[in-house]
Amino acid sequence: MSLSEQELLATLGALIDPNTDKPFVAAKAIKAVKLSSGTAEITVELGYPAASQHEALAAQIEATALAQNGIHVAKVSISSKVIAHKVQGNVALLPGVKNIIAVSSGKGGVGKSTTTVNLALALAQEGARVGILDADIYGPSQPQMLGIAEAQPESDDGKTMRPLEAHGLQANSIGFLIDPEQPMVWRGPMVTQALRQLLFDTRWNDLDYLVIDMPPGTGDIQLTLAQTVPVTGAVIVTTPQDIALLDARKGLKMFEKVGIPILGIVENMSIHVCSNCGHAEHIFGAGGGEAMCADYGVPFLGALPLDIKIRSQTDAGTPTVAAEPESAIADAYRTIARKVAVSIAEKQRDMRLKFPTIVINKD
C-alpha cells in the first residue's frame, strides 16, 4: 500500500460513524482503500446491519476523500458482518443462531410483543437474518401479529421443527401448535420445558439475531430461561408510567442477577398525538424511561408513540415496519434496532467457535 493510500485510510478511519459515535478505526470498519490516479475505491464492513444508512455513509466517505486533495471516489462498497458475541456464564450457543436478544417487561400491557415484532422486522429491513420466538406460553400473540395464526411448523424427522416464515422472519410459537382458544393450564416446570423445546428443537437457519418475546414478569419461568438460554443481551420495554417503571426495574435486576447485559430501554406509548387535531399529550407521564436509564447507567434506545396505526396494523398481521416501512414510526423502530445491533457489536466476541474441540484418547 502506497503512502497516499495509508494517509487516506487514516483519514477515513478517523471519521465518526454516526451510528456508533466512534471513529471507524475503532471497529476496523474501513477494510480496504485502493487509490489510482486520484481515484479511490473504498471497502467498508460494519459489525451491525444498517442498510438504510449505507447511502449516507457513502456520501460522508466520498465528501471526506474529495476534501483530501480532490480525490474522486469511484466506488464505496458497504456491507455488514454480524458475528456471535459472548453470552452469560458457560451456556452453550444455539446452533444456527449468532445472537439472542431477549425482549422483556416487568409487567404485561406495555406493548412488549408489539415492540418485539417490529424490532425484529426492523433488524431484517436493515439487512440482518432474523428470527422471532414467542416465549409467552400463556398468551402467545406473535402468530396473529405475523399474520400466520393458522399455520403449523413442519417436521422432517419427528424430532425437530422447521420455523415458519412471515415478512422475512423465521418464527416459532406455542401458538402454532395449539388451538387459539385453548388455555395453557400448566405449572412452571412444564412451561419451561415447552419453551426449551421450542427454542432448541427448532432448526433456525443461519440467524444473525433471534429475538425472544419473553413472558411478562420476573418469576421462576423468566429466571430459568435467563439462566439456561444463551442470551447476548436484553431489551427492557416500559411505559413512562410509574407503576410500569417499578416492574421494569425488577426485570432489569433479574437480568443483572444472571449476568445478561442490558442493551437498553425502550419507552413505549411515550406520547399520543390526536389524529384529528394534532394535540400531543403524555398520557402515561413523561421521561420515565430516560430517568430509569440514568439511574442504572444503561442506554435509552428510544421512545415510541401511542398510535392507533401500530395497534391496528399489528392486529391485522402486518406490523407497522412491514405495513408502512417509509413511515416515521417505522423509522423510529429502525433507529432502535440499529442501536441494539450496535450495542451487541461492541460487546466481547464469543471465541468458542474459533477453537477446535480437543479430544484426548487413551491408548
CB 74 within 8 A of CB 38: no
Query: Measuring CA to CA, how many Å separate 335 from each of 169, 266, 302?
Result: 19, 11, 8
Question: 108: annotated binding-site residue?
Answer: yes
Question: 106: annotated binding-site residue?
Answer: yes
Residues in the chain: 363
Question: 111: annotated binding-site residue?
Answer: yes
Q: For residue 63, count CB atoms less than 10 angstroms from its CB and return exposed for 0-12, middle for 13-18, buried for 19 or more.
A: exposed
Question: 285: annotated binding-site residue?
Answer: no
Lookup: cell for 323: 405495513
CB 35 within 8 A of CB 7: no
Task: Provide the total of helices (H) and of strands (E) in the chain, helices listed first.
Answer: 11, 15
Cβ contacts of 115 within 8 Å, gap of 6 or more: 103, 235, 237, 266, 268, 304
CB 96 within 8 A of CB 241: no
Contacts of 70-75 spanning 24+ positions with Cβ under 8 A = 70/38, 71/8, 71/35, 71/38, 71/39, 71/40, 72/38, 72/39, 72/40, 73/39, 73/40, 73/41, 73/42, 74/39, 74/40, 74/41, 75/41, 75/42
Beginning with the edge strand found earlier in the chain, give each strand of the sheet holding 130-134 in spatial order. Answer: 164-166, 169-173, 130-134, 207-213, 97-104, 233-238, 262-267, 300-303
Report d(CA 28, CA 8) in Å as an integer.
Answer: 14
Report d(CA 243, CA 80) in Å as an integer.
Answer: 40
The partner residues of 255 in beta bridges, in order of sequence, read none
Nearest to 151 by CA among 183, 194, 180: 180
Question: 47: annotated binding-site residue?
Answer: no
Please state the residue numbers annotated as binding site.
Answer: 106-113
Residue ranges for the known binding site for ATP are 106-113
